[in-house]
Chain A
Amino acid sequence: MAPNAYSRGRSLVAVLRLSVLTFLADPQWLIPSLIAPVVFGLVAYELFSGAGPFFVLYAILGAGMMSMWGQTLYGSGWATGADRHLGTLEPTLSSPTPYLYVVGGRVIWNTVAGLFGGAIVFAVVAVTYGRPIPLSDPLDFVLMFLFVIVTLASVGVVFAAAYVYTRYAGFIQNVGEFAFYVGTGCMFPVVLLPFWTNPISLVLPPTWALDALRYLAIPGYQGFSWGFWWDIIGAVGTTLVYLVIAGTVFKSVERHVLEVGDLNDW
C-alpha cells in the first residue's frame, strides 16, 4: 500500500523530531551555527559601512541569507550525508516512506534553525554597532523572511538528492557554496554580473525572494525593474519548479542508488 497523506505527514513529524533530538544530543553544532551568522553580519557591515545606510541594510539582508543558506540547505544535505556515514540510509530507504519526506522533515527543522541564524545577523549588527535596523513593517518583513527560507529550502531539497546520489555531495556543495552566493546576488545586484550569468541567477528562487525582501526592507529600493509583486511571482514559480524537480529527482535518485548499490559507502 502506498503511503497516504497521513503517513507522509507522520513521517515528516518523525524526521523533525529526530532532527531535534540529534541536534540536542550534539549541541556542539550550535557553535558554528552561531558564529557563521555573527561573522557574516560583521563582515557585511564592515565592508559596507562606508557606503551609507542603504548599502548596509542591503548587505545585512544578504548576510542573513548567507547564514540561512548554511543552516537550511547545508543542514538538510549534511543530514543525508550523515545517514550514509551512520549506515542508516539503507534501513531508511527500506522503509515504505519515500526519502523525499525524510528530507522534507529535515528541511522544516533547518528552516527553523535558519530563521534563528538570520535573526542573529540582525541582532549582532544592531547590538554591536548600536544601530537598530529600521523596518517599516516588521510583520511583513518576518513573513517575507520566512518565505526566503522556503525558497532556500526548495534548493536544499534538490541538493539533498545529491547526498543520496553520491557520497561526494558534501564536497560538491562546498565547491558550489560561493558560486551560489554570487549567483543569487545576495550581497550585490546580479546586474553587476556578466549578462550571460543572469539566466542562471533567475532560475535560483532565492534571487527573486531576496529582491522582494529588499523591496520590503529598504526604503526607496529599486531592484529588478519589474517590481515587488513580480519578484514574488517569480519566487513562488521557481520554488514550485524546484519542488517538482525535487520530487522527480528523488524518484530517479532512489532508483539510481538501488542500481549502483553504494548506499552503504561513505
Chain B
Amino acid sequence: MNAIFAPRTSLGFMRLDFVLGTVFIIPFTQMVFFAFVAGLSGGAAAVSFVVVGNAVATVTYSSIFSVCQTTDSEKEAGTMEHLLVSPANRFALYFGRGVVPILASLATVTVGLVYAVTIFHVPFNAAESPAIAVSIVLTAVAMVGFGLLLGGVALYLRTSIILGNIFLFIGLLLSGVNFPLSSLPLPLQYLGDVFPLTWGLAAVRASLAGAPLGTLLGLWLNVAVGAVASLALAMLLWKTFERRALATGSIARF
C-alpha cells in the first residue's frame, strides 16, 4: 500500500519542513510578490486578481511538481522497475500516486485563499464557502490528474521535472493567474483552455464572487471534464509509455 501511495516521495509530505514550506511559505511569498507587482501596475482590483490567481496557481507545486518528482525519484532510486514488474493493479498503482498530492493540493489552495482573505483583504462571504470548497476540491483533483498525465510522459522521459517546470511557467501565463486571459492573443487563449488550472481558477474566482449556481455548475463541469479527461489520458499514457519504456530501457536511466 505504501508503494502505491508513495507518500514519502510525494513531496516528502511526511516531513514537517516540507509541509511548512510547500503549504505555508511558497504560496505566501509568491502572492506577496505578485501583489506588489499588481499594486504598482494596476491598483487594488489588480491586487485582488493576482492574489487569488497565485493562491490557486501554487497548487502546481503540490500537484504537477510532486507527481513528476515522484516519478523521477522512483527512476533514480531504481524502484520504478520493481513497481512495474509487480503484479499490483495498474489503476491503483498509477492513481494511488495522486492521493497524497490531492491532499497536499487541497491544503495548499486552502491556505493560499486564507492568506488572500486575511492578509490581502480579498472580499469573502462565508455563505459562499461550500461553493468555494467544491471548486477547490475539483481543482485539486483535476490538477493532480494533469500531473499524473505528465507523470505518464515522465515515465518515458529522462527527467520529468522539466515538464513540471514548463507547466509551472505556462500556468502563470496562459491560465489567467495574473491577468485576464482575454488580454492574450486568441490562439493563446485557446491553448489556455486546455489546462485544468484555467478552469479551476475560473471556478474559484466565480465562487468567491458569489456567482449564481448555474454559472458555477458550468465551470465545475468543465473542471470535472478536465479531471476525468486527464485521468483517462493519464492511464492510457502510463500504459503506453510503460510498454515503450520497457522496450527502450529508459526506466533504468535517469
Binding site for B on A (CB under 8 A): 26, 28-29, 31-32, 35-36, 39-40, 42-43, 46-48, 50-51, 55, 59, 85, 168, 171-172, 174-179, 181-182, 187-189, 192-193
Q: How far is the CB of A37 from chain B (nearest CB, A)?
A: 9
* 8 residue pairs, one from A and one from B, having the closest CB atoms: A178-B29, A32-B165, A39-B169, A188-B40, A175-B21, A179-B29, A178-B30, A187-B37
What chain A residues lie within 8 Å of B29 (beta carbons)? 175-179, 182
What chain B residues lie within 8 Å of A171 (beta carbons)? 12, 17-18, 21
What chain A residues lie within 8 Å of B184 (beta carbons)? 46
Which DSSP category, helix, strand, loop or mixed, fits chain B's interface?
A: helix
Q: How far is the CB of B182 from chain A (nearest CB, A)?
A: 11
| Cβ–Cβ contact A26 & B159, under 8 A | yes
Q: B154-169 interface mask toward A, CB cutoff 8 Å, 1 = contact, 0 = none?
A: 0001110010011001
Q: How far is the CA of A175 from the CA of B22 in the complex (A)?
A: 7
| Cβ–Cβ contact A175 & B36, under 8 A | no
B38 interface residue per 8 A CB criterion? yes
Q: How far is the CA of A193 from the CA of B21 in the complex (A)?
A: 22
The A-B contact count (CB < 8 A) is 92
What chain B residues lie within 8 Å of A29 (beta carbons)? 162
Q: When the two chains form the complex, which single residue of B158, B159, B173 contacts A42, counting CB atoms closer than 8 Å?
A: B173
Q: How far is the CB of A229 from chain B (nearest CB, A)?
A: 26
Q: Which residue of B lies closest to A185 (CB)?
A: B36
What chain B residues lie within 8 Å of A187 (beta carbons)? 33, 36-37, 40
What chain B residues lie within 8 Å of A179 (beta carbons)? 29
Q: Which residue of A lies closest to B40 (CB)?
A: A188
B170 interface residue per 8 A CB criterion? yes
Q: How far is the CA of A48 from the CA of B162 in the complex (A)?
A: 29
Q: A39-B173, A47-B42, A51-B41 are in contact. Are A192 and B166 (CB under 8 A)?
A: no
